[in-house]
Amino acid sequence: MATEGTPAGTARPRRKIGLGLGCLVIVIIGLLILGTWGAGIYNSLVSLDQNVRSQWAQVENAYQRRADLIPNLVETVKGAAGFEQQTYTAVAEARAKVGQIRLDESLLTNSEAFARFQAAQDELGSAISRLLVAVENYPELRATQAFRDLQVQLEGTENRITVERQRFNEAAQAFNTKRMSFPTVLVAGLFGSRFAEKAYFKAQAGAETAPKVKF
């Protein structure tokens, strides 16, 4: 029944308008909640992604440190009478191979390219280890101050590489775990390669410890 002074026909449109406004408010509130939720997930992925990139920079620094030591190492052993040329040539060639691999951010999400990078670095590490084993046959070389200094620096660098690779894997695992969890995977999928799964370093047999360079 219409109230006094209010036509019955005007009450119904007012109720419809009020209902429509109520639905609109609910929709707006829902969108705000959804947007806040999505922004929170996006920000968490960004934070984890930046952590992976930061740790990758530490890995690169450790590898670069090793690469910078190699020219001095090669020159030092070349000065030893009768030292096998093939041994230090293998180190120089392995270093050159590593330098041919282009490093950019896409490497972190390209498992095949990442595997090639790791294989080249592992090959270089093996070549250095073989050279250091060969040095055992040259006590006069091991006794020089130049080689002793390189020995200490190489030992510290190899240990740092092992540590930084492990930390990178931990950061990548944290990102991948978050990315693949529900409902984060839905948000990550909206951004394509921006939040692609990160690659890992894979351990070689015996790689749980750094190469020994003490004599």
Both tokens assigned to 48: 């984890």
Residue 50 domain flag: yes
Both tokens assigned to 25: 């408010």
Residue 144 domain flag: yes
Residue 212 domain flag: no
Q: Specify the CATH number for the domain of residue 169.
A: 1.20.1440.20
Residue 2 domain flag: no
Successive 10-residue mean pLDDT values, the chain, 215 residues: 53 67 75 76 93 94 94 89 87 92 83 92 93 90 90 93 96 96 89 89 60 42
> Among candidates 41, 53, 42, 99, which has minimal Cα distance to 199?
53
What pLDDT is attached to residue 5?
A: 53
- In the chain, which residue ranges form alpha helices assigned H by DSSP? 8-78, 85-99, 111-135, 139-142, 145-180, 184-189
DSSP single-letter state for residue 183 = T
What pLDDT is attached to residue 210?
A: 46
What pLDDT is attached to residue 213?
A: 43
Query: Which residue range is the domain that position 174 belongs to?
Result: 13-195
Residue 186 domain flag: yes
CA distance 124 to 64: 12
Domain count, the chain: 1
**pTM of the entire structure?**
0.80
CA distance 196 to 111: 11
What pLDDT is attached to residue 203?
A: 76
Residue 215 domain flag: no
Residue 202 domain flag: no
Residue 8 domain flag: no
